[in-house]
Amino acid sequence: MMPKLWLIYAWRDLRSGLQGFWIFLICLALGTAAIAIVGSLGAAIDRGLVEQGQPLLGGDVEVALIHREVTPNEMAFLQSKGTVSKVGSLRAMARGNDRTALVEIKSIDGLYPLYGALALAPAGDIKTAVEGDGVAVDPILLERLGLKTGDRFKIGDKEFIIRAAISHEPDRISDGLALGPRVMMSEASLQATGLVQPGSLITWKYRVKMPEGTSLAQVREVVRQAQEDHRDAGWRVRNRGSAAPGADQYIERLSYFMTLVGLTALIIGGAGIANAASAFISRRTESIATLKCLGASQRLITGIYLTEILAVALLAIIIGLALGAVAPAIAKATIGDLIPLPLTARVEPRPLALAALFGFLVTIAFTMWPLARTRYVPASALFRHHVVASGGWPGWGALLTIVIALAALAGLVYASFSDARITSIYLGGLAGSFIVLLGLAAAIVRLTAKLPRPKSAIWRYALSNVHRPGSAAISVILALGLGLTLFVTLALTDRTISTELTSGIPDRAPSFFFLDVRNDEKQAFLDLVAKEPGVTKVETAPMLRGRITHVKGTSADKVQASPDTAWALRGDRGLTYASDLPQGSTLIAGDWWPADYKGPPLVSFVGEVADGLGLKIGDDITVNVLGRDITAKIASLRKVNWRSLDINFLMIFTPDTLSKAPHQNIVTIEMSGGDEGQLLNKVSGAFPTVTAIRVKDVVATVTDLLTQMLAAIRGANALTLVTGILVLAGALSAGLSGRLYDAVVLKTYGATRLELIQAFIIEYGILGLASAIFGVTVGAAGSWFLSFWILEMPWSFSWVTALSTALLAMVLAIAAGLAVTWRALTAKPAAILRDE
């Protein structure tokens, strides 16, 4: 019977509208929507990657090798699992119409593509398009070289005819970061270019199409066999469930970041929810007193108003979930063609359920305390509610409910994110912020109470407003401090990413990286570029590829590497040899070998990677280079400034260790005031097999990715600002009735509106300044945490951002305070006193 009464009374009370609940509704809806939208988009992309894994990868299983092709034994293993298609890829220079452009070559066989469909313009078959001298190209290449279908251009030593433009390449995303437009040709054409030389950076991929109906578990078993039974192959193995690992990591990292921001906004909104609930209970004082006069039990009263709060919360959560549910469909319809990732339009139940749970738990955690205030409203409040105590201890039942809700919230956060360490730091920081802010607010209240009474009546009134009974000081500092902390965190993170974008190219950086310079052409190449106007510096280094097979005698696949250095043990790595320590490197341990060293193999290792692999001076490491195992002793550890763009490698060997192995060279050229296009054309004409990479183009490609992340950061910042304003408004409106009464009494005794405004500005300025100091300090720490642990970027701090945020805090506090209390400033004393 009791729950039925709750519903009846709650429904009758809510029929008058949501007056007083709008801040509650918007805060909860915004926070829930943020989590639901981010989760739904991430899940939609994940589903798209899984459902379209076969065409995205180009097969059920793919093995990739650099430099070499598979052996007959390895090919027999692959063919025993299904149909095998062979693809080769490398970068090269295309020349046509007196122009030059970097391209990504893909050689294909007659089985390509095993899955999906390749679309051409004009429409046709890819096998026909690449017969003989024919190629299919990315339309971007036509624009860069000023060509059209039917025209001819040159790559390496061979001339090609453009038979078609590629409209859609099903497996493009699996190839990772692209620095140039695609050129698709046959394997015979690739061999005819002269680009395939010992040491060339060519990747051979073998895609396996397994029998129809093969489960993902069976596919993973084949991957296991390829990795464990062929450990010496040195190939990288992928399956259709991980077709785009780079995209997976990028989306996961961005989703992780945005979900944490959304959750933080929701929890900060929880402060607004608590304030709104407190204001709601204050407005219902007469109703509560009336119910008690009529004999209503505390359980009935609590049940009625809890039902009302949950009903409004349900409406807010539904609004947030509705936005999250339609987000994938809207994104697919509006920006689906702009992102190179598959996106499904279906509703994703899991992230919606997660967002709903977050919203419900936040509602319970932040409304039970103000709701428990109803027990302290006596029946006499019907006649003298302005002198009724405003709060007290909520009772063990309410406290237990709050603790359970917070524990469930923390457990849900742990269950949602895979990295327990980062999650623990996040939750600890959030809990610590609440505790410190509550302590700061209490300290300010006590401090203003103990200050000597100023002579100015305006200052006395302003300070007394901070520490008087029923003051909103604690709520305002908590709400504004949390909101500003997140705002500063995102503002500094925005600056970190912006700094990364603007400082992508250092002041002294190469204009070009030239790859695959053959030893027999090296001197002629250097002579040519040295004569070009504007060339100020030329550096060269031998370049090989090798795979770490053993670390201190332990097989690489059994080494327990740290998560941020495990990449060094996967696949081939760039190697070199040198007599002198290269520029951009600084020795941090050990000694560099003499220039004329002729002893056992030695190697210099990057220090931070060595630490992650458990290596130190004197340890042995074995590297397989072109099928030959070389064991070298670590002679030194280096710190490398990769941002300088000097030629540097993870491992540098002594010259006599690798100098006789087949290899090519990398050359960097710095220019000042010269014509880069002219140099590029001359090099490409004289050395057609050399690949040129313009540094500015690479930085522009990476900048595009970071810019997308920056847009997400700024969107989150806007959400933070809106939430912060709403929470602050809720904190101030909670005590509006008391403000109204005080202002009327003061006006009756002769106070002017200007004097009241001055007092309010002083009061809100004090609260805003305290919140700003906290927000800048903790927000800076939060930004460092996000930059270092999640975005993995060097952190950038700005005093301008910090001080402007402090100013924003004071302006926001004063403006919101005056806006909310304007009714008190303009109220007519007669009407209020007559009502009393």
The predicted-structure confidence for 674-690, as pLDDT tens digits, reads as follows 677 788 888 888 888 88
Contact 136, 126 (CB under 8 A): yes
Lowest mean pLDDT of 301-315, 350-364, 741-755, 759-773, name the range.
741-755
Mean pLDDT of 699-721: 63
Sign of CA dihedral 659, 663, 669, 675: positive
Angle at 751 between CA 750 and CA 755, to 5 degrees: 155
Contact 205, 62 (CB under 8 A): yes
For 481-507, the pLDDT digits (tens) are: 777 777 787 778 777 777 765 555 555
Q: Which of residues 580 and 331 earns the better pLDDT score?
A: 580
Instruction: Report the interhelical angle of 420-450 vs 473-502 (nearest 10°).
Output: 130
Quick one: pLDDT at residue 475? 73
Q: Give me the torsion for CA of 492, 497, 500, 501, rounded to 10°.
A: -130
Place of tokens 């570029």: 529
Quick one: pLDDT at residue 565? 81
- Which of 208, 253, 266 minimizes the C-alpha distance to 59? 208
Quick one: pLDDT at residue 388? 46
Lowest mean pLDDT of 76-90, 148-162, 538-552, name the range.
538-552
Mean pLDDT of 459-475: 76
Helix H or strand E segment including 375:
none
Q: For residue 1, is pLDDT > 60?
A: no
Angle at 197 between CA 196 and CA 202, to 5 degrees: 50
CB neighbourhood size of 507 (10 A): 6
Mean pLDDT of 256-268: 73
Contact 444, 477 (CB under 8 A): yes
Q: For residue 381, is pLDDT > 60?
A: no
Place 389 in a pLDDT band, splitting at 50, 70 and 90: very low
Q: For residue 107, is pLDDT > 70?
A: yes
Mean pLDDT of 766-786: 81
Mean pLDDT of 402-413: 88
Query: Cis ω on the peptide bond leading into residue 582 (within 30° of 0)?
Result: no
Helix H or strand E segment including 665:
strand 664-671
Contact 94, 154 (CB under 8 A): yes
DSSP collapsed to 3 states, 498-532: HHHHHCCCCCCCCCEEEEEEEHHHHHHHHHHHHCC
Query: Where on the phi/psi map is residue 213: left (φ > 0), alpha (ψ -120 to 50), or beta?
Result: left
Instruction: Please tell me the distance from the alpha carbon of residue 565 to that of residue 550, in angstroms, as a whole number.
Output: 15
Place 67 in a pLDDT band, splitting at 50, 70 and 90: confident
Q: Which residues contact 794 (CB under 8 A, 6 or more apart)?
A: 496, 500, 787
Q: Which of residues 173 and 376 earns the better pLDDT score?
A: 173
Q: Which of residues 401 and 786 earns the better pLDDT score?
A: 401
Instruction: Please tell me the distance from the alpha carbon of residue 444 to that of residue 473, in angstroms, as a whole number.
Output: 9
Q: Which of residues 434 and 62 earns the better pLDDT score?
A: 62
Backbone angles phi, psi at 148, to 5 degrees: -145, 170
Instruction: Please tell me the distance from the alpha carbon of residue 150 to that of residue 115, in angstroms, as a whole number.
Output: 28
Q: Which of residues 427 and 282 earns the better pLDDT score?
A: 427
Instruction: Please tell me the distance from the alpha carbon of residue 75 to that of residue 96, in angstroms, as a whole number.
Output: 38
- Which of 200, 233, 198 minimizes the C-alpha distance to 90? 200
Mean pLDDT of 181-208: 88
Instruction: Please tell me the distance from the alpha carbon of residue 681 to that of residue 661, in angstroms, as a whole number.
Output: 31
**Which tokens in the block code for residue 177?**
């970061």
**Which tokens in the block code for residue 432?**
């610590």
Instruction: Please tell me the distance from the alpha carbon of residue 446 to that of residue 498, in angstroms, as a whole number.
Output: 42
**Which tokens in the block code for residue 156?**
């390496």
The two beta strands, 152-155 and 158-168, are antiparallel
Quick one: pLDDT at residue 78? 92
Place 804 in a pLDDT band, splitting at 50, 70 and 90: confident
- Which of 746, 728, 750 minimizes the C-alpha distance to 738? 746
Instruction: Please tell me the distance from the alpha carbon of residue 415 to that of residue 685, in angstroms, as a whole number.
Output: 58
Q: Which of residues 199 and 676 earns the better pLDDT score?
A: 676
Q: Which residues contact 454 (CB under 8 A, 6 or more apart)?
A: 460, 463
Mean pLDDT of 639-666: 83
Contact 169, 125 (CB under 8 A): no
Instruction: Please tell me the distance from the alpha carbon of residue 815 to that of residue 765, in angstroms, as a whole number.
Output: 10
pTM: 0.66
Place 712 in a pLDDT band, splitting at 50, 70 and 90: low
Quick one: pLDDT at residue 161? 95
Instruction: Please tell me the distance from the alpha carbon of residue 440 to that of residue 482, in angstroms, as a whole number.
Output: 12
Greatest pairwise CA separation for the chain in angstroms: 103
Place 600 in a pLDDT band, splitting at 50, 70 and 90: very high
Please give the full DSSP string across 45-75, using - where no structure is assigned: HHHHHHHTHHHHHTSSEEEEEESSPPPHHHH
SS3 595: coil
Instruction: Please tell me the distance from the alpha carbon of residue 407 to that of residue 21, in angstroms, as a whole number.
Output: 26
Question: Which of 351-355, 425-429, 717-721 has maximum average pLDDT?
Answer: 351-355
**Which tokens in the block code for residue 14?**
């809510």
Instruction: Please tell me the distance from the alpha carbon of residue 301 to that of residue 293, in angstroms, as a whole number.
Output: 12
Quick one: pLDDT at residue 715? 66
Domain edges within the chain:
1-52+243-418, 61-69+83-210+236-241, 447-506+698-836, 535-671
Mean pLDDT of 222-236: 83
**Which tokens in the block code for residue 616?**
């130190």
Helix H or strand E segment including 87:
strand 83-96
| Rg over CA atoms, the chain | 34
- Which of 175, 179, 162, 173 minimizes the C-alpha distance to 88? 175
Instruction: Please tell me the distance from the alpha carbon of residue 264 to that of residue 486, in angstroms, as a whole number.
Output: 8
Query: Cis ω on the peptide bond leading into residue 122 (within 30° of 0)?
Result: yes
Q: Which of residues 466 and 95 earns the better pLDDT score?
A: 95
Strands (E), 179-317: 182-186, 203-209, 236-239
Place 87 in a pLDDT band, splitting at 50, 70 and 90: very high
Place 702 in a pLDDT band, splitting at 50, 70 and 90: low
Instruction: Please tell me the distance from the alpha carbon of residue 9 to that of residue 1, in angstroms, as a whole number.
Output: 13
Instruction: Please tell me the distance from the alpha carbon of residue 244 to that of residue 238, in angstroms, as a whole number.
Output: 9
Q: For residue 583, is pLDDT > 50?
A: yes
Strands (E), 253-404: none
Mean pLDDT of 215-223: 85
Mean pLDDT of 205-227: 87
The two beta strands, 203-209 and 236-239, are unpaired
Instruction: Please tell me the distance from the alpha carbon of residue 136 to that of residue 120, in angstroms, as a whole number.
Output: 8
Q: Which of residues 376 and 100 earns the better pLDDT score?
A: 100
Amino acid at 800: V
**Which tokens in the block code for residue 746?**
């003061």
Mean pLDDT of 200-219: 86
**What value does the mean pLDDT of the chain take?**
79
Distances (CA, A) of 640 to 427, 586, 643: 34, 6, 9
Place 387 in a pLDDT band, splitting at 50, 70 and 90: very low
Q: For residue 153, is pLDDT > 90?
A: yes
Quick one: pLDDT at residue 83? 93
Share of the chain above pLDDT 90, in %: 15
Kindly tell me the number of DSSP H helices and DSSP E strands found in the chain.
26, 21
Amino acid at 89: S
Share of the chain above pLDDT 70, in %: 80
Instruction: Please tell me the distance from the alpha carbon of residue 349 to that of residue 38, in angstroms, as a whole number.
Output: 13
SS3 612: helix
Helix H or strand E segment including 358:
helix 349-372
- Which of 666, 653, 544, 557 minimizes the C-alpha distance to 601? 653
CB neighbourhood size of 179 (10 A): 15
Place of tokens 């005056």: 818
Q: For residue 386, is pLDDT > 60?
A: no
